[in-house]
Chains A and B, each alone.
Chain A
Amino acid sequence: MSVKLTSRQVGDVTVIDAAGRITLGEGASAFRDYIRDLAAKGKKKLLLNLSEVSYIDSSGIGEMVSGFTTVTNNGGQLKLIGLSKRVKDLLQITKLYTVFEAFDDETEAVRSFS
């Protein structure tokens, strides 16, 4: 299964619910297009929910970083919730925990957007 992406509004925050695999090929490119599309629509407060994501490889991590850069360059913010232990390990190994702001709780994450 490739990645499935849906979004919902919580106040002025757009929560992106991702499910499946974000890996080289279909998964990573679908993810990239989805984030770029939201940024192009002027969405500036994006919260990426990874709780249903079963697998991310280095290409998927690359697309997350690319999405972060796209949103930030657009004057917005991209934050994370729902990190599994495996995804936390990946962010630790790659030092990307210093780049991404991550939360355990959605309400707290939504409140954190300025």
Chain B
Amino acid sequence: MPLVRGSPCYISYSHSSALLYRQKRRNMEKFQTLLESKLQSVDKAEELVMSEAGKAGFDEDDQHQIGMAVRECMVNAVVHGNRYSSNKRVHLDIERSEKGLTVVVGDEGEGFDLSALPDPLAPENLLRQSGRGLLLIRAFMDEFDLHPRPGGGTEVRLVKNLAAV
């Protein structure tokens, strides 16, 4: 199956993000975007992913859940990972196939220890103001994996599978 490469690297399509590459094959499309460490990037990533989820065939509720999971990852990357640094970017990879959608969100922060996070469902933590993002991500996606990003930072991989017909 021939691989069709799209536009070359670093085609800027807005002031706040850059499309790094795009690959297209039959039944599969994959692209990577670099986003600035700003809250506007959270909305942009959510819109992008929801649009891809719609193209993949997810219904409205699934699109909402995927969008929200990505939103929570982006907030973690921008706020906690990159700490709004103008020198750091958030790496967003989206792969759409006939099986579903895979999204990878990477930051350039100092990384963090997942096991150090308090359990948001423990009775003593129910009234805490923060700490529910990962809980929602896990609830909404079929796969969730968090690991150190090559080159520094943290990378979160999310997968949502299309229901088998």
Contact = CB atoms under 8 A, between A and B. Distances in A.
14 contacts: A24-B75, A58-B75, A58-B132, A58-B135, A61-B132, A62-B132, A65-B128, A68-B127, A86-B61, A90-B136, A95-B121, A95-B126, A98-B126, A99-B126
Contacts, number: 50
B27 interface: no
Contacts of B136: 57-58, 90, 93-94
Interface residues of A, number: 21
Interface of A: 23-25, 57-59, 61-63, 65-66, 68-69, 86, 90, 93-96, 98-99
* Interface of A: prevailing SS: helix
Given A59-B75, A93-B135, A66 B129 contact: yes
B129 A63 contact: yes
A93 B39 contact: no
* Interface of B: prevailing SS: helix
Size category of the B interface is 20 to 34
